Amino acid sequence: MLSACMVAVGIAAGGAAGVGSFNVILSYIATGCAFTLLAALAFAFFEFTKLARVRADKPVAVVLGLVRQRAALIVLPTLLWPLMLAAYTTAKMAIPFLVGYSWDGFWADADRLIFGRDAWMLSIPLVEWAPVRLWEWVYSGVWGVLLFIWFAAVPFFASKRRVGVMYTATFAAWLIGGWLVAYATSAAGPVFAHLVDPTLADRFLPMREHLAAALTPDGPIHRTQVALATVLEKHIAIPAAGISAMPSMHIAMTTIYVLAARRTWWMAPACAFWLIIFIGSAYFGYHYWIDGIVAAVIALLCWKAAELAFEPGDLRLPATLQRSAAP
């Protein structure tokens, strides 16, 4: 249902703004299917390895049976998640045409009120103790690849309740944060603020100059920011395109990772990754730190609601998946 709601939002926003999304749908579905196939192969490999250790009989039949048990869940990373992501991208690219960006000054002042200075200034010593190029690749490449790996792997490696909680919380966070809050409090972010609000041009000029000196022209952050500015008013949805700072969906997803990692050895890496993304979001000018704080709160509330929807011990699949799995 949450995916259907986001798709409806994408259709409505794209139709109203004249933003086409056919190509981006195909791109996300192809990516989702590719990562799901890799996750299935990894799952089969791990299961074969466990069976080999005990010299189990008929390992192929056993592994195929385990995969069949997960078959109904495969629709999540191969269809529902790509459709939701395509709809979100379409809705995000429709922002300049439907609501514009009018909250940058408010969120910039909120950051300064909370932290005493603009967040990008505070982030400089936190980032530049290590190579900036490393931060670039983690913030852009690692985050994007991990997003698809996570969605593809969860249906194979997590319990059915855990799958329900994580997908429900994620879809709810993207619907509420990526659409409702993004449209209600639309902001472009510090690095793009001068494009939508000339009064902020001088305020963030030192930041843009600092990034121009710190980033390499062929690096992922510089190339991405140039591309995002170029397609700001395009009427064709492009994967990973669109500008929307409030709330930070980078932080929303990393918050979901932290919540999912509780009581496991993944907790420390998840928290470290959250901190890297939070700091980098200000340093690279994509976000005000308040964007990340709001996103984390949204993700936490969505996670708690999802946990209530899937009671402990309830291993049932959602009704739609039950029907698809029925013989």
What are the residue boundaries of the structural domains of the chain, listed by start? 2-325
pLDDT of residue 146: 92
pLDDT of residue 313: 57
Q: Report the chain's C-alpha Rg in angstroms.
A: 21
pLDDT of residue 326: 37
pLDDT of residue 159: 87
pLDDT of residue 316: 46
pLDDT of residue 63: 86
pLDDT of residue 315: 44
Q: State the chain's mean pLDDT as an integer.
A: 90
Residue 165, classified by CB atoms within 10 Å of its CB into exposed (0-12), middle (13-18) or buried (19+), is: buried
Burial letters 224-244, b for 16+ CB under 10 A, else e: bbeebeebbeeeebbbebbbb
Question: Which residue in this structure is represented by tokens 């989702």?
Answer: 32
Look up the pTM and report it: 0.91
Which residue ranges of the chain lie beneath pLDDT 70?
313-327
pLDDT of residue 4: 85
pLDDT of residue 3: 78
